[in-house]
Amino acid sequence: MSNPYKSVPIRSYEITPKDVYFSRRDFIKTAGVIAGSVALAACAPQAVEFTDEPASTSGVLKTDELGDPANSLKDITNYNNYYEFTTDKESVASLSKKFTTSPWTIEVSGMVSKPRTFGIEDLLSLFPQEERIYRLRCVEAWSMVIPWNGFPLASLLKQVEPTSDAKYVRFETVYRPEEMKGQSSPFYPWPYQEGLRLDEAMNDLTLLATGIYGETIMPQNGAPIRLVVPWKYGFKSIKSIVKIELTDKMPDTLWASVAPNEYGFYANVNPDVNHPRWSQASERRIGELSRRPSLMFNGYGEQVASLYAGMDLSLNY
> What digits encode the pLDDT tens for the residues 229-271?
999 999 999 999 999 999 999 999 999 999 999 999 999 999 9
In a domain, 205, yes or no: yes
Distance between CA 80 and CA 44 in Å, rounded? 7
**What CATH number is attached to the domain comprising 223?**
3.90.420.10
DSSP character string of 145-208: EEEEEEEEHHHHHHHH-B-TT--EEEEEE---TTT-GGGG-TTS-SSPEEEEEHHHHTSTT-EE
256, 100, 44, 287: which is closest to 168 by C-alpha? 256
pLDDT band at 39 (very low <50, low <70, confident <90, very high): very low
Q: Which residues pair with 246 in a beta bridge?
A: 110, 169
Domain of 293 in residue numbering reads as 12-308
Task: Identify residue 311 by its one-letter amino acid code.
Answer: M
The predicted pLDDT at position 54 comes to 54
Residues above pLDDT 70, as percent of the chain: 80
What distance in Å separates the CA atoms of residue 273 and residue 316, rounded to the nearest whole number? 10
Burial class (CB in 10 A: 0-12, 13-18, 19+), 247: middle
Contact, 87 vs 93, CB < 8 A? no
Write out pLDDT tens, residues 81-112. Answer: 999 999 999 999 999 999 999 999 999 999 99
* Burial class of residue 310 in the structure, from the number of CB atoms within 10 Å of its CB (0-12 exposed, 13-18 middle, 19+ buried): exposed
Cα–Cα distance measured from residue 204 to residue 229, given in angstroms and rounded to the nearest whole number: 10
Q: Are 15 and 68 in contact (CB under 8 A)?
A: yes
Task: Evaluate whether residue 298 is within a structural domain.
Answer: yes
| Residue 313: inside a domain | no
**Any domain includes 4:** no
d(CA 131, CA 123): 16
Q: Give the pLDDT score at 138.
A: 59
Residues 6+ apart with CB under 8 A from 32: none
pTM of the model: 0.82
In a domain, 3, yes or no: no
**Nearest alpha-carbon partner for 129 in 210, 190, 248:** 210
**Pair 226, 206: CB distance under 8 Å:** no
In a domain, 315, yes or no: no
Ranges 17-31, 63-77, 128-142, 201-215: which has the least confidence: 17-31
Residue 128's pLDDT band (cuts 50, 70, 90): confident
176 found inside a domain = yes
User: How many angstroms separate the Cα of 28 from the Cα of each of 23, 36, 234, 236?
Assistant: 9, 13, 19, 24
Residue 314 lies in a domain: no
Q: Say how many domains are in the chain.
A: 1
